[in-house]
Amino acid sequence: MRNWFILALALGVVGLSPTSAPAQSPADPANPQIQGDVDPLFLIRGRNIARSAAETANGGLGNYMAEPAMHGPTASAPMVINEDGSLLFTFRGFRPEARDASGNPIFSYETEVLVNPNRTFEILYNGPIRPANP
């Protein structure tokens, strides 16, 4: 029993370590989207909320998968931190069977989700990939 407690405590410390340190530094020149002093846990939760919202809106994991950036390090997630502290995620998705000959995903969806500091969210766009702005 004591070993389980020690293991749980160790995992908790590792889980709370600053894995998204770039998001904590003000005006990171390497990633201009991440600015200000934002709670790194909110960044992780926000990314998960946005990804889950897209998965639900598109019929679940059997029908939809978000781009890898929505699963990796939070600092690489396609997001903008707004002045009011909300997070705007704009990312692509694909059907699990939609892959090219090399096994790479063929993206066909775009989703834009606004996550507020109180963890409420709004899907602003969910549909075909829009043309890039010139």
The shares of helix, strand and coil residues in the chain, as percent rounded to the nearest 5, are: 30, 20, 45
Residue that the structure tokens 């929505």 belong to: 70
- Separation between Cα atoms, residue 72 and residue 74, nearest integer Å: 6
Global pTM value:
0.71
pLDDT given at position 133: 66
- Separation between Cα atoms, residue 110 and residue 89, nearest integer Å: 10
pLDDT digits (tens, 9 = 90+) for 32-91: 444 457 889 999 999 999 999 999 999 999 999 999 999 989 889 999 999 999 999 999
pLDDT given at position 1: 52
Q: In Å, how far are 5, 39, 68, 99, 129 from 102, measured between CA atoms?
A: 44, 38, 16, 8, 22
Predicted confidence (pLDDT) at residue 16 exceeds the cutoff of 60: no
pLDDT digits (tens, 9 = 90+) for 84-118: 999 999 999 999 999 999 999 999 999 999 999 99
pLDDT digits (tens, 9 = 90+) for 17-41: 444 333 433 344 444 444 457 889 9
